């Protein structure tokens, strides 16, 4: 190393102070990639819960951050009759509590159009209204249709858009056109395939954005960077050094106002077919040759194809199902699932699942992946925990009666966005005593700039046409193919109720699922 004054300062910063030098990268430079084109965002279901809780705050915060296009049109579409002014007031209530210094400018981009989802005439009126609005504000005609509506309306709405000519690109004054579909993508393989066929009647694959907000979380994206941009861990990321992998997505909330949906889905369809499979794929995938959407999607699909099929009609060894009973959350008593409004008092729908799966390829053969997700657990958290194998020989064994604990790497997704590594050290003192310590890194460390949340990131990627963090259809169908035999076994067995283990709300699930659980504080 050339120890010039400049290099010496960098060396002191990095090695002695334990921090990197200021890279002088403007924080805005990392928020978006390239110029953002003018566009129109049409939100179907504009009066619904998703728009109020997630989309409205996300769109306004993007405007506050300054990354939205200068020419922006946001059109709310729902069955209710409403004026533009009434819609603006509704959105203002949804973002109340945020920085309102730029509200007046944002409000000018908000419009409303009543739409009846079964009326062709209604969609033709929407088409005319969009052309009028876009004449000055978005002359290129770029459009995003966001389906923030119940899944039962996806197919019909996409057909209506197509029949009204709204799916066409570079014709009739249109620029690019994209459609955003929220999960669930069907409730089994057949319905997922049928939905895909319907979407493809009028939209090309590159126009379809199947959103999974888990993928847009900053720490989820960092799993790839952590693995492939650092030479420290990738050589150890295989069956030779890793004993098991545990992935948990725990929720402290109950079913809330989603009883009707949850009674049809349960935890396997709600969480495992999408979120859990994606976290598994990011952890297990091979490095893509380029960090480009199709290359990354290809490697994920390879993981899904490598999943070992579940044993036929005998899933008890690889699956534990549970349902929350009454208990205590944060010191407050809460009802059990069967006592929730809208839930069948004798429901056998699982709210917890612990699953053991294997990825049968060269890298992972024989390494169990434990996937855990449930409602009304002790706290809300999502993390990926890598348990390395113990040292093959302990020189302390038989001398001090101690065995070195295996190293554990934790990738915290929520609420602690961090990387944590445990390793063995010597306790201070004359006697040799081992102790485990942790080395932690928080993703917000040394960063004070704006951060896009999951929906904000997903919206910006859609505007820029980036499919990296969205599902591709082959991945959707491969995951349904993997889970469908398990679902059939669980839902069609004669003793379905007996397989369901009850756990008190506020716990970490059924005792029988201990093998699936990582170490949690």
Active site residues: 275
Q: How far apart are CA 345 and CA 259, in angstroms?
A: 12
Q: Between helices 277-284 and 218-228, what is the axis angle to 10°?
A: 20
CB 213 within 8 A of CB 458: yes
Beta bridge partners of 381: 250
CB 81 within 8 A of CB 42: no
Strand pairing category for 39-44 and 72-78: parallel
Among 481, 487, 490, CA closest to 307 = 481
Among 248, 268, 280, CA closest to 518 = 248
Q: How far apart are CA 210 and CA 227, in angstroms?
A: 25
Q: How far is CA 65 from CA 72, 99, 315, in A?
A: 14, 11, 49
CB atoms within 10 A of CB 117: 18
- 476: tokens are 């959707």
Q: 13 Cβ partners below 8 Å, 6+ apart?
A: 19, 20, 21
Q: How far apart are CA 224 and CA 221, in angstroms?
A: 6
Q: How far is CA 477 from CA 187, 189, 262, in A?
A: 11, 6, 21
CB 136 within 8 A of CB 23: no
Q: How far apart are CA 519 and CA 508, in angstroms?
A: 11
DSSP summary character for residue 170: S
């Amino acid at each position: 190393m050339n120890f010039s004054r400049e290099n010496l300062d960098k060396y002191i910063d990095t090695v002695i102070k334990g921090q990197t030098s200021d890279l002088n990268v403007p924080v805005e430079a990392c928020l978006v990639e390239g110029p953002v084109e003018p566009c129109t965002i049409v939100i179907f279901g504009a009066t619904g819960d998703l728009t109020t809780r997630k989309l409205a705050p996300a769109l306004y915060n993007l405007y506050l951050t300054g990354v939205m296009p200068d020419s922006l049109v946001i059109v709310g579409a729902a069955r209710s009759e409403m004026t533009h002014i009434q819609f603006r007031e509704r959105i203002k209530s949804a973002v109340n509590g945020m920085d309102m210094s730029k509200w007046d400018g944002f409000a000018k981009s908000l419009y409303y159009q009543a739409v009846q989802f079964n009326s062709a005439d209604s969609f033709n009126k929407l088409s005319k209204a969009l052309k009028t609005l876009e004449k000055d504000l978005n002359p290129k005609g770029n459009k995003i249709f966001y389906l923030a509506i119940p899944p039962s309306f996806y197919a019909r709405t996409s057909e209506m858009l197509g029949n009204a000519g709204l799916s066409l690109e570079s014709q009739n004054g249109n620029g690019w056109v994209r459609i955003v579909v929220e999960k669930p993508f069907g409730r089994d393989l057949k319905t997922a395939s049928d939905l895909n066929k319907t979407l493809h009647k009028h939209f090309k694959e590159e126009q379809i954005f199947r959103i999974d907000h888990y993928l847009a979380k900053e720490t989820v994206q960092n799993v790839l960077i952590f693995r492939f941009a650092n030479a420290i861990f990738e050589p150890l990321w295989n069956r030779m050094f890793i004993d098991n992998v545990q992935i948990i997505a725990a929720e402290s909330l109950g079913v809330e106002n989603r009883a009707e949906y949850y009674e049809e889905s349960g935890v396997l369809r709600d969480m495992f077919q999408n979120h859990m499979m994606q976290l598994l794929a990011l952890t297990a995938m091979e490095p893509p040759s380029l960090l480009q959407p199709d290359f990354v999607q290809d490697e994920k699909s390879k993981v899904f194809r490598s999943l070992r099929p579940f044993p036929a009609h005998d899933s008890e060894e690889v699956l534990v199902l549970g349902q929350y009973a009454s208990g205590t959350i944060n010191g407050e008593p809460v009802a059990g699932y069967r006592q929730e409004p809208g839930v069948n008092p004798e429901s056998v729908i699982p709210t917890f699942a612990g699953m053991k799966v294997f990825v049968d390829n060269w890298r992972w053969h024989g390494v169990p992946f434990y996937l855990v997700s449930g409602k009304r657990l002790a706290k809300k958290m999502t993390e990926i925990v890598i348990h390395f194998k113990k040292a093959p020989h302990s020189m302390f064994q038989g001398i001090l009666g101690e065995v070195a604990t295996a190293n554990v790497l934790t990738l915290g997704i929520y609420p602690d966005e961090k990387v944590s590594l445990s390793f063995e050290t010597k306790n201070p003192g004359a006697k040799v005593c081992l102790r485990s310590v942790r080395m932690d890194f928080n993703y917000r460390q040394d960063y004070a700039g704006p951060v896009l949340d999951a929906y904000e990131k997903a919206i910006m990627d859609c505007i820029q046409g980036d499919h990296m963090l969205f599902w591709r259809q082959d991945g959707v169908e491969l995951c349904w193919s993997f889970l469908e035999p398990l679902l059939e076994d669980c839902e069609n067995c004669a003793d379905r109720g007996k397989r369901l283990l009850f756990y008190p709300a506020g716990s970490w699930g059924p005792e029988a699922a201990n093998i699936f659980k990582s170490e949690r504080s």
